[in-house]
Structure 1
Amino acid sequence: MAISDWPAAERPREKLLERGAQALSDAELLAIFLRVGIVGLSAVDLARLLLTEFGSLNGVFSAPRAAFGKIAGMGDAKYAQLQAVQEMARRALREDMAQTDVLTSPQAVRDYLGLLLRNRQVECFIALMLDAGHRVTSVVELSQGSVNQAHVYPQELARHALHHHASAVIVAHNHPSGRATPSAADVSLTGRLHQGLALLDIRLLDHFLVAGNQVYSFAEHGHL
């Protein structure tokens, strides 16, 4: 049965307009993005197929282009639209951080870092440069390494912080393996970055580890 034949209260778009986006399931939200299904499958059915194939909504967003294109009805146009949705979300969150003290909106930082790093296939290390009001002025990718490691040096972070006139810095890296526990090397590096920036009177506010849907704060766990 086509979605247009469903009772109005059960159609994803009408349900969203009536009750808000938070009331929809992952499949219903994805169905609104898809707009139409294919022969034999409604948009909701097709959304459920995608979720089953890639494991989760995040899995759909991070699916490789080739794998995504193998699903019936999915091609480069839909893949491009999906990537655009992610990038718009990242940019919207970054705009929020540029206008607000990140210490008063820590969840926005976590959400942004999650969107930025969780789908990377290799380990990446980035830094958020903050002004005196703790607003994000720029985002710098310091290194990109293998699946297991990205090399970062305190002097490199310090150089970027001075270049961007940062008063404070937040650093973050990802674990493509999905392991949300920092290694001894991660903890040691955090200490060295903190000490190196302190010599320049620049605060290291936090170091976040992104692993899958988890975002681990070094500061909250006493590593800063």
Structure 2
Amino acid sequence: MSIRDWPDGERPREKLLARGAGVLSDAELLAVFLGSGRRGQSAVDLGRALLAGAGGLKPLLDAPQDKPGIGTVAWCRLCAALELGRRYLDAELRSGETLTDPAASARYLKSRLAGYPYEVFGCLFLDNRHRVLAFEELFRGSIDGASVHPREIVRRCLSHNAAAVIFAHNHPSGVAEPSAADRKITLRLREALELIDVRLLDHFVIGHGTPTSLAQRGWL
């Protein structure tokens, strides 16, 4: 049955307009971008099949474009939506307000780092009122680690005239549990930053689910 034959309250676009995008399932959100399905398969059915074949929404969107059922136009729409989401979070952090909500910085950092298949170490540079000055991806590594150099981080802090920083790195495995090496380099970086009067506010480990905060663990 075509989506046009569905009751108005069950069609993805009508549901979105009436009740907001948050009520749509992953398959229904995909259907909005796909626009149409295939013969004998509605856009929602196609969305469900794509999700099942990829193992979920994240692996579907993280993988390169080569998926039966997603044309170039639909794929461009999905990529543009992801980038808009990232830029929205970036604008939220750069609004000029003091960054006091750890959850906001965690959401932003996850949006920037979670999709990489290799480890990336990034940094939010803040002023003395904890307003965001910049975000930079400083180091990239392999699937199981990245080399972090305190001297380069100190140099970038001085370049931005930062008064505080928040670190983050992803675990491509999806397990957001800090390793002994993560804790060791965090303490080493904190000691290096203390020499130039820059405060280390937190270090997030990004994986599946909610990022892990070393500050909340009491490890800073």
Interval of TM-score (by shorter of Structure 1 and Structure 2): over 0.9
The answer to whether residue 186 in structure 2 is matched with residue 190 in structure 1 is: yes
Structure 2 regions of 5+ residues with no counterpart? none
Q: 1:71 aligns with which of 68, 71, 78?
A: 68
CA distance in 1, matches of 2:35, 2:71: 14
Identity over aligned residues, as a percent? 48
Give SS of 2:211's match.
Answer: strand
Give SS of 1:121's match.
Answer: coil
The answer to whether residue 45 in structure 2 is matched with residue 45 in structure 1 is: yes
Deviation by residue 1:27-60 (Cα, 9 ceiling, x = unmatched): 1112112121122211101110111111222222
- Tell me how large the CA RMSD over aligned residues is: 1.3
- Counterpart AA for 1:71: P
CA distance in 2, matches of 1:61, 1:135: 31
TM-aligned CA deviation for residue 81 of structure 1: 2.1
- Counterpart AA for 1:192: R
TM-aligned CA deviation for residue 223 of structure 1: 0.9
Deviation by residue 1:114-152 (Cα, 9 ceiling, x = unmatched): 111111011110111112221212111111011111111
CA distance in 2, matches of 1:58, 1:108: 20
Deviation by residue 1:84-103 (Cα, 9 ceiling, x = unmatched): 11111111101111113222
TM-aligned CA deviation for residue 23 of structure 1: 1.5
CA distance in 2, matches of 1:70, 1:26: 17
Structure 1 regions of 5+ residues with no counterpart? none
**TM-score scaled to structure 1, two decimals?**
0.93
- Counterpart AA for 1:2: S
**TM-score scaled to structure 2, two decimals?**
0.95
- Counterpart AA for 2:98: D
- Counterpart AA for 1:9: G
TM-aligned CA deviation for residue 76 of structure 1: 3.0
Give SS of 1:197's match.
Answer: helix
CA distance in 2, matches of 1:56, 1:78: 18
Q: 1:89 aligns with which of 75, 85, 92?
A: 85
Structure 1 stretches of at least 4 aligned residues deviating more than 4 Å after TM superposition: none
Count of paired positions: 219
Structure 1 counterpart of 2:7: 7
CA distance in 2, matches of 1:98, 1:214: 22
TM-aligned CA deviation for residue 106 of structure 1: 2.2
